[in-house]
Amino acid sequence: MKRNFTLAKYLLRKNRSSIFSFSLILLISTLLFASALTVNNNVSKDYDALHEQLNTANAFFTVPAVQYTEDLVNALEELHSVEMAEGRRGVMLSVPVEMEGSQQEQTQIFFSLKNTGELNRFRVVEGFAENAGKGICIANYTYIHSSLEPGSSYAFDSNGNSYSFPVIGVLEDMQYGNYASSVIGQYLTEESFQKLLGQEPQNEVVVISVKADSGREAYCDVSKYLNEKGILVISKNYDENMKNQRLAISNILVLILLVFSAVILLISLLVSKFKIQQSIEEEMANMGVLKALGYTGNEIILGVILPYLISGLTVTCLGAALSYLLLPVLGNVIMMQSGFRWEPGADITADLTVILISLLLITVFTLLPAARIRKLNPINAIRGIRQSKAERNYFEMDKTAGSVGMLLTLKNFVNMKRQNILLGIVLFFMTAAASFVIILYYNINLNPMNFINTLVEEHPSIIVKSDEDMETELAKMEHVERVIYYDEQCSVSYRDDSYKTFVSESFEQLANDLCYEGRNPETDREVAVGSRIREAYDLQTGDTIVLSRNGREEEYEITGFIQSVNYSGEVLELTVDGYRRVEPDYTPGTLYLYLDDERLAGAVMEEIEETNETINSTMNYAESMESAMDLYVSLVGIICIVIIVITVLLIFLILSILISSIITRQKQELGIFKAVGYQNRQLVRHLVGGFIPGSLLAVIAGALVSKLTLGKVYGFIFQAVGAYKVNFVYPTGLLCLTALGLIVSTLVIGVALAERIRKISVYSLIRD
């Protein structure tokens, strides 16, 4: 073993710069890999644990208090899928909240801190004076995204009443802890709750929480029961659906990290394979001597691969350890979206998995090229006799057209096949990775509408609610492009289940076409169906379904299928007349205004409020959307910068390995070129030029594959959060620019690294 270490130490010293580069690449890979695995293994598990610890309901339904009786809970407990049911009173209000610096209209349910049952307990994140007389404990989600904090005051106006509650704490609950159900839960002291209830008796609701083995089954059973009893369900959800929505960012993050770390790991493995092949060629004579001295093939192989195994083990352990510095950052990102406070802890399984997988792959990738040492004939090795067929002299200079520079560059290209393949693989993957983030950046940061259209429903500039018909009047206002009646608050039943229904007079005029297959309804006999309902009942375009409301049933023909991330695809679309068939008294009261310049939304909204007294409420939706986008914009900005930096770093490391190995191997050749009169810049050009054809090919292939597959990749990612129609665009020009940027970076880095040639004197090249 000692003999192996001697050879390993020698090779480690000799190849220290390339082993350093290999280690750095491996470190990045294991850091990301370990982080991704820890997130993957723990976030979901910790979420479930907290869900269980807080005894969170598996399904829940918000119903008007006037329709609730204690008997209802008893009746629900009789359902076979329900283990336990519980009702909790609250006040449901639409509250303007300042989120990320701008006003957003949020539906919130205010509970009493005193009125807590067995289910849906909460945990204290910050503050919380149990005996406080007045005050509110805000949800962690509100705390993260707003400027509210313990000691501040939560003030808002609702239905003409002004409220102000001192914030006494921050709580986390798993039921209404984030906006996945489009409702946020806040907790008032009993005194404050009674005051609010006294002012808002018409908004009193009861949240019926259900504990069950299967949340989905209980959700269906209870929905059916409530529908049968004619009880209006204001909002509802179940555990699995909530979890998917709350952890969507976490899942996407894990996916990106895993794919990216796998690509980087592959690159580090290829580097180790390449360097071992090269070491064997360079040390052939020495290995021959060792064999002649009595070393066995396996002993020499162990000596060759040992530096990679030792540095691999060290670096993977370091990467796994360093991942604990990255995890709080990822935890923060996950918390921003989910509202779920994830505290990363040690995950030995993830760490060991990363270390073992990496080491196993390093062993395989280093053994593959090292295996030929076994067949090495000592005498041939000492004499430098290579058992390879005679290589051709490509691009004969007296017979091939082209300048001497071009021909020497082409010769270099042919002679650097292996280096070109390695660089090509790296550039191919890096082009794909860079294209992925550039497209993400383009569609989220530069053209946010593409992202908004994918994830949210309709997004006007302003929403106006009025009991009177103001369509014509508002349409005449300056900067108003169009006004459309659009209602997201309607509901109809299908097969005993009640579904949110989007009602509009003209879906074609909306800013966001939710239809991912077929078309929107145009007549009163047509309906478009949400993705989840389609899957549940295997519906097809052209099918006729029966919808009902308040006991009135009508037939509709399915014209298409729509997506809805916020409502998990459990939605329907009907025209105003179509909805009136089941609700004859329906009068649309929500107007969506579209401005020619969304920046003017605030001013136009003010003007509407000042000049129209019949308005119930207005909302600057453009501003809300912009603030909601801030989280994604900054997150994507960070991801973009990180991936671009890693991409450039990887190109730098690979090129530094390749170029330094070429300069070392061809030191004498470069000396000869210099001796006969070649200038440094010519040699740099020939050397870097030799990488151009391979790099170009790889980058073009990477850009082409990106162009062809990015749509599918994003489709796959967004499908995980329920978006079937990805409105991203993939501009060819942008992908070409990315490819060009990578080629230019490669050349600039290549030239900078090849400048080392300049420092070596021609005499020393020959003398050495």
Report whether 601 contacts 70 (CB < 8 A): no
| CA distance linking residue 299 with residue 664, whole number of Å | 26
CB of 695 to other proteins, least distance (A): 21
- By CB under 8 A, name the one of 396, 467, 481, 596 that touches other proteins: 396
Which residues, including other chains, have CB under 8 Å from residue 454's CB and lie 6 or more apart?
A: 565, 718, 723, 725, 726, 727, 728
Other CB atoms within 10 A of residue 767 CB: 8
Question: Which of positions 583-612 make contact with other proteins (CB under 8 A)?
Answer: none
**Stretch of 352-360, 375-383, 393-401, 721-729 lying at the interface with other proteins (CB under 8 A):** 393-401
CB of 275 to other proteins, least distance (A): 21
| CA distance linking residue 640 with residue 730, whole number of Å | 16
**Stretch of 388-396, 517-525, 537-545, 598-606 lying at the interface with other proteins (CB under 8 A):** 388-396
Question: Which of positions 634-693 make contact with other proteins (CB under 8 A)?
Answer: 668-669, 671-681
408 lies in the site for other proteins, by CB under 8 A: yes
Site map 339..378 versus other proteins, x via CB under 8 A: ----------------------------------------
Closest CB to other proteins among residues 41, 664:
664
Closest CB to other proteins among residues 495, 667:
667
- By CB under 8 A, name the one of 13, 229, 374, 758 that touches other proteins: 758
Closest CB to other proteins among residues 314, 679:
679
Closest CB to other proteins among residues 415, 634:
415
Amino acid at 543: D
Tokens matching residue 127: 């503050």
CB under 8 Å, gap of 24 or more: what pairs does 531-539 form?
Answer: 531/561, 531/562, 531/563, 531/564, 531/569, 531/722, 531/724, 532/568, 532/569, 532/570, 532/722, 533/494, 533/499, 533/569, 533/570, 533/571, 533/572, 534/561, 534/569, 535/569, 537/495
CB of 661 to other proteins, least distance (A): 16
Other CB atoms within 10 A of residue 747 CB: 16
Closest CB to other proteins among residues 253, 658:
658
| CA distance linking residue 36 with residue 260, whole number of Å | 10
**Stretch of 151-159, 218-226, 695-703, 760-768 lying at the interface with other proteins (CB under 8 A):** 760-768
- By CB under 8 A, name the one of 411, 581, 685, 725 that touches other proteins: 411
| CA distance linking residue 54 with residue 121, whole number of Å | 5
How far is the CA of 658 from the CAs of 8, 99, 323, 365, 682, in angstroms? 21, 51, 29, 18, 19
Backbone angles phi, psi at 159, to 5 degrees: 50, 40
| CA distance linking residue 433 with residue 645, whole number of Å | 11
393 lies in the site for other proteins, by CB under 8 A: yes
Which residues, including other chains, have CB under 8 Å from residue 261's CB and lie 6 or more apart?
A: 28, 29, 30, 31, 32, 33, 36
Q: State the DSSP code for 62.
A: E
CB of 38 to other proteins, least distance (A): 49
763 lies in the site for other proteins, by CB under 8 A: yes
Amino acid at 680: N
**Stretch of 44-52, 398-406, 473-481, 740-748 lying at the interface with other proteins (CB under 8 A):** 398-406
Closest CB to other proteins among residues 416, 439:
416
CB of 281 to other proteins, least distance (A): 14
CB of 282 to other proteins, least distance (A): 15
Closest CB to other proteins among residues 551, 677:
677
Name which of 491, 518, 427, 367 is nearest 744 in CA terms. 427
CB of 729 to other proteins, least distance (A): 48
CB of 676 to other proteins, least distance (A): 4
At 237 the three-state DSSP class reads: strand
CB of 675 to other proteins, least distance (A): 5
- Footprint of other proteins (CB under 8 A): 390-391, 393, 396-398, 403-404, 408, 411, 415, 668-669, 671-681, 758, 761-763, 766
